[in-house]
Amino acid sequence: MKFLTLEQGQLGALIEDEGQQQVVDLTAAAKLFELEPLPMTLAEIVGWTDEQVAALWGLAQVALDKGVSCRAYSEVKVIAPIPQPRRNILCLGKNYLDHAKEVAEKMQASSDAPEHPIIFTKATTSVIGPGDDIPAHAELTRKLDYEAELALIIGKEGRDIPEEQALDHVFGYTAINDVSARDLQKDHVQWFRAKSLDGFAPMGPVVVHRSVMPEPKDIQVSCHINGEQRQCANLDQLIFDLPTIIATLSKGMTLLPGDIIATGTPAGVGMGFRPSKYLKSGDEVVVSVSGVGSLTNRVV
Ligand SMILES: O=C(O)C/C=C\CC(=O)C(=O)O
Q: Which of 55, 79, 103 is the last residue of a domain?
A: 79
Q: Ligand 1 centre and the CA of 251: distance in Å?
A: 23
Which is more confident, 175 or 27? 175
In this structure, the answer to whether residues 116 and 195 fall within a common structural domain is: yes
Q: Ligand 1 centre and the CA of 294: distance in Å?
A: 23
Write the single-letter amino acid at 288.
Answer: S
Q: Ligand 1 centre and the CA of 82: distance in Å?
A: 25
84 within domain boundaries: no
Task: List the residue whose alpha carbon is closest to atom 8 of ligand 1.
Answer: 93
ipTM metric: 0.96
Range of the domain at 287: 89-299
Number of separate domains in the chain:
2
pLDDT higher than threshold 80 for residue 35 = no
Measured between alpha carbons, how far is 263 from 285 in angstroms, rounded to an integer? Answer: 19
Q: Which ligand 1 atom is the nearest neighbour of the CA of 108?
A: 3
Position 107 scores a pLDDT of 83
Q: Ligand 1 centre and the CA of 176: distance in Å?
A: 16
228 within domain boundaries: yes
pLDDT higher than threshold 90 for residue 17 = no
Contacts of 284 (CB under 8 A, 6+ apart): 225, 226, 227, 296, 297, 298
In this structure, the answer to whether residues 70 and 176 fall within a common structural domain is: no
Position 215 scores a pLDDT of 87
In this structure, the answer to whether residues 23 and 150 fall within a common structural domain is: no
pTM, to two decimals: 0.97
Mutating to test ligand 1, I would choose from 90, 91, 94, 108 the residue with most ligand atoms within 8 A of its C-beta, which is 94
Closest listed residue to residue 96, CA positions, set 269, 224, 264: 264
Position 139 scores a pLDDT of 97
In this structure, the answer to whether residues 66 and 135 fall within a common structural domain is: no
Q: Which ligand 1 atom is the nearest neighbour of the CA of 186?
A: 1
236 within domain boundaries: yes
pLDDT higher than threshold 80 for residue 39 = no
CATH number reported for the structural domain that contains residue 240 in this entry: 3.90.850.10
Measured between alpha carbons, how far is 22 from 180 in angstroms, rounded to an integer? Answer: 34
Measured between alpha carbons, how far is 188 from 175 in angstroms, rounded to an integer? Answer: 27
Q: What is the mean pLDDT of residues 48-70?
A: 92
pLDDT higher than threshold 80 for residue 84 = yes
Q: Which of 41, 60, 79 is the last residue of a domain?
A: 79
Position 63 scores a pLDDT of 92
CB 222 within 8 A of CB 63: no
Q: Which ligand 1 atom is the nearest neighbour of the CA of 147?
A: 11
Mutating to test ligand 1, I would choose from 185, 189, 269, 287 the residue with most ligand atoms within 8 A of its C-beta, which is 185
